[in-house]
C-alpha cells in the first residue's frame, strides 16, 4: 500500500466551517486539522493506546497508512482514532441511506380495543395486528376507556400485555403501555424490516402464480381416463 500524502487533509475532512447558505459543517477534524497538544488515542480496532502528543499520534497514523480522526472533541484531552476516514464515511453513508429507506417504508397502523373486549373480537383484532406485523408495519394499540372503566387502568394494561405476548414471535414492544388522556397506548414494532417483508410477500405471490399457471399433465389425466371408460 502506497504512503499517503503528508496529511494533506481530504476535502471531506475539512474543519467545521460555514458553508454556502450559512450551515455549519459537522464533519470531524482529521489529521493536521487537529490542533491540540495531545489526544487520547484509540487504535484502529478500538484498543486504547492512551494519551499521546499530537505529533506522535500523527506519526502513528502515517506509519499505518491511516487517518487520525477526532471523534470526541469536547473531551479533555480530545479523543482521536486511527481509521481509514474515506472508508468510514462511505460505510456511514450506506447505513444512513438504509435507515432512511426503512423509515420511509414503515407505516404505523392503529388498532383500537375496549378493555372488556369479548374473546371473538379479541381474536379478530389480534389477527389484524399479526397481519400488520408480518407486513413489516408498526402497530399502535389503543385501549379506549369509558365511564367507570377509567378507574380500572389495570384492565387495559393486562390486555396490552396479553396481546404483546400473543404476537411476540412477530413483533416487540417498542413503546410500553402508557396513559394518554382517557386511553392507554402501546406501540408494537415488527421483527422484520419493511423491505424484507415486501420481498417475502412478492416471492410468495410469484410462487402462487407459477403454481397456478402450469397445471401440466395432471389436468389431462382425467380426460384420458374418461375417454377409456367410454370406449369400454
For residue 213, give Cα distances in angstroms to 8, 115, 203, 208.
63, 47, 15, 9
Measured CA to CA, the distance from residue 139 to residue 31 in angstroms comes to: 47
The whole-number pLDDT of residue 80 equals 95
Domain boundaries, the chain: 25-84, 105-190
**Inter-residue contact 67 to 84 (CB < 8 Å):** yes
Beta strands per DSSP E along 30-158 = 38-42, 48-53, 67-72, 79-83, 108-113, 138-144
Measured CA to CA, the distance from residue 62 to residue 44 in angstroms comes to: 13
pTM: 0.46
* Structural class in CATH, domain 105-190: alpha beta
Same-fold call for 25-84 versus 105-190: no
Measured CA to CA, the distance from residue 68 to residue 52 in angstroms comes to: 12
The whole-number pLDDT of residue 208 equals 82
pLDDT tens by residue, the chain, 232 residues: 444 544 444 434 444 444 444 445 578 899 999 999 999 999 998 899 999 999 999 999 999 999 999 998 989 999 999 999 999 889 888 888 877 776 656 678 999 999 999 999 999 999 999 999 998 889 999 999 999 888 889 999 999 999 999 999 999 999 999 988 889 999 999 987 776 777 777 788 888 887 776 555 454 444 444 444 444 4
**Inter-residue contact 68 to 30 (CB < 8 Å):** yes
Nearest-10 Cα torsion for 69, 71, 77, 81: -50
* Locus of grid cell 493536521: 32
Beta strands per DSSP E along the chain = 38-42, 48-53, 67-72, 79-83, 108-113, 138-144, 171-180, 183-190
Architecture per CATH, 25-84: Roll (3.10)
Amino acid at each position: 500500500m502506497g504512503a499517503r500524502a503528508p496529511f494533506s487533509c481530504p476535502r471531506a475532512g475539512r474543519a467545521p466551517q460555514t458553508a454556502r447558505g450559512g450551515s455549519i459543517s459537522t464533519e470531524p477534524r482529521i489529521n493536521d486539522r487537529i490542533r491540540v497538544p495531545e489526544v487520547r488515542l484509540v487504535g484502529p480496532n478500538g484498543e486504547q493506546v492512551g494519551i499521546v502528543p499530537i505529533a506522535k499520534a500523527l506519526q502513528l497514523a502515517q506509519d499505518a497508512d491511516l487517518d487520525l480522526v477526532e471523534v470526541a472533541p469536547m473531551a479533555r484531552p480530545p479523543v482521536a482514532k486511527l481509521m481509514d476516514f474515506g472508508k468510514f464515511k462511505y460505510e456511514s453513508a450506506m447505513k444512513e441511506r438504509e435507515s432512511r429507506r426503512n423509515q420511509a417504508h414503515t407505516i404505523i397502523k392503529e388498532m383500537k380495543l375496549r378493555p372488556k373486549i369479548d374473546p371473538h373480537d379479541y381474536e379478530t383484532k389480534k389477527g389484524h395486528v399479526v397481519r400488520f406485523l408480518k407486513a413489516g408495519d408498526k402497530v399502535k394499540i389503543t385501549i379506549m376507556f369509558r365511564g367507570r372503566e377509567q378507574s380500572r387502568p389495570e384492565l387495559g394494561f393486562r390486555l396490552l400485555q396479553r396481546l404483546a405476548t400473543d404476537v411476540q414471535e412477530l413483533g416487540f414492544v417498542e413503546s410500553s403501555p402508557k396513559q394518554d388522556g382517557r386511553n392507554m397506548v402501546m406501540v408494537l414494532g415488527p421483527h422484520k424490516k419493511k423491505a424484507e417483508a415486501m420481498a417475502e410477500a412478492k416471492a410468495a405471490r410469484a410462487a402462487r402464480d407459477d403454481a397456478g399457471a402450469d397445471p401440466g399433465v395432471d389436468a389431462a389425466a382425467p380426460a384420458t381416463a374418461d375417454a377409456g371408460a367410454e370406449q369400454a
